[in-house]
Amino acid sequence: MDARGRVGRNVRKLRMARALSQEELAHQADVHQAYLSGVERGKRNASVLVLDRIAKALGVDIDRLFTRDE
């Protein structure tokens, strides 16, 4: 799994732990739902600022999106 896959898996786990839909998280992070879906599937190569918005919407620091064993 490359770094995108790791980030995507972490985002999905954190989102599900908060019982948020992709649509809800996408809205809170100000990204399109289809884009968020691509991030979660490891298909999108997101930037630092987009990931920081997603992290803030999840209530975590951005470093949590990069942890290896989340």
Q: Which residues bind its own copies (CB under 8 A)?
A: 2-4, 7, 45-49, 51-52, 61-63, 65-68
Nearest distance in Å: CB 30, its own copies: 15
Q: At what angle do helices 48-58 and 3-17 cross, to 10 degrees?
A: 20
Torsion of CA 63, 23, 36, 38, to 10 degrees: 140
- Closest CB to its own copies among 8 and 22? 8
- Closest CB to its own copies among 36 and 46? 46
- Closest CB to its own copies among 46 and 57? 46
